[in-house]
Amino acid sequence: MKKFFITIILYITTLAGAVSIYAQDAAPAEDAGAQAAPNVFNLAYNNILLVLAVLVLIGVILAGLSLIWALIEIQKMKLLEKYGPEGLEKANLTASGSIWSTISEKAWNLVPKDKEQDIDLGHEYDGIRELDNSLPPWWLWLFYGTIIWAAVYLWYYHVSDKGPSQEQEYIAAMEMGEAEKAKYLSTQANAVDEKTVTLLTDAAAIAEGKELFAANTCKTCHGENLEGNAIGPNLTDKYWLHGGSINDVFKTIKYGVPEKGMVSWQAQIKPGSMQKIASYILSLQGSNPANPKAPQGDLYVPGATGGGAVTDTVSVGQASPSKSDTTNVAQPAK
């Protein structure tokens, strides 16, 4: 019996530790001052399964203790029939009126055996009689507790408006989801490549792309306003040496064109930054900067058949497109 109580104590201690750890881990990270400290009702509501599990566990423990004491009483009755009262006294199994026996009696409210005829329903089969016992008090206490819990819940969330409504919980959950989504996407910014890259159009990304363009000496070869110079081509017209889509521009920045003097930037610039630079370049299409370099390469028309490139080809030194001259001067490509 002593081992049993030690086991119960250890079990309850372990449960309390697990609940404490769970409560710490389950507490959502919130911005400072964003929400007030959660109260006991919100904690209980957010951890309703844990609360129910604890209540069920308490009931199971009480039922287990009561069952054990019932088995002890049965053994006492058998010993009493076999050895008489003297045998119980020698075995120190006489009724002691301990606290455990009192709890057992209060928890089960069993009818004494000599009064079972008062609740006998007259149904008997194979020596088993049906008795009209009342529900155990411990079960009724749990049932009444659920009624009290429901009343408090109804008042707190639907009458006093102190607890969040379903709409408020939905909005909060959506905001939390958007925050988690943004956090995840921020870690995926550098996962793009020339196949998955997309054109960025928001002002913040374009502004950052402009800063990166200048910081990485891109203007040295392509000019302050992408107008081109003696080294690199004009990036604001419709003619491109290696394609004018966001995928083509990203690929050109990433791998470069070593045979024409443009180095690969994939070791120096992250994919997310290359995407912003490419988007900045394409945002200046048709801007007509001062002193633009003559067009080079193939005319690129977004959405045209064949990736957007058409057969209108020009070379350095021509003021207008010419279909007969397809020779290009070896220049760092765009």
Quote the tokens at residue 327. 């020779």
Profile the chain (334 residues) by mean pLDDT over runs of 10 residues.
52 56 46 46 67 81 77 76 70 58 72 81 87 85 92 89 87 93 74 87 92 85 87 90 91 90 88 90 90 89 63 50 40 47
- Sequence-distant (≥ 6) Cβ neighbours of residue 326 within 8 angstroms: 313, 315
Distances (CA, A) of 308 to 74, 183, 240, 247, 279: 92, 35, 11, 12, 17
Provide the H-helix boundaries in the chain.
Answer: 2-26, 40-46, 48-90, 99-108, 137-154, 166-187, 203-215, 218-222, 246-255, 271-283
Rounded CA-CA distance 227/222 in Å is: 6
Give me the pLDDT at residue 219, please.
82
Global confidence as pTM: 0.42
Give me the pLDDT at residue 317, please.
45
Give me the pLDDT at residue 118, please.
86
Give me the pLDDT at residue 72, please.
76
The three-state secondary structure class of 297 is strand
Distances (CA, A) of 300 to 6, 74, 193, 235: 82, 95, 21, 12
Core vs surface per residue 284-296: b (16+ CB within 10 A) or e: beeeebeebbbbb
| CA 145 centroid distance within chain | 33
Instruction: With CA atoms as reference, report the closest residue to 238 among 288, 178, 188.
Output: 288
CB atoms closer than 10 angstroms to residue 328: 17
Distances (CA, A) of 133 to 63, 72, 113: 16, 20, 12
Structural domains of the chain sorted by starting position, each given as residue range(s) with its CATH number in brackets: 35-159 (no CATH), 203-314 (1.10.760.10)
CB atoms closer than 10 angstroms to residue 138: 19
Distances (CA, A) of 266 to 16, 223, 251, 283: 54, 21, 10, 22
Contact between 332 and 260 (Cβ < 8 Å): yes
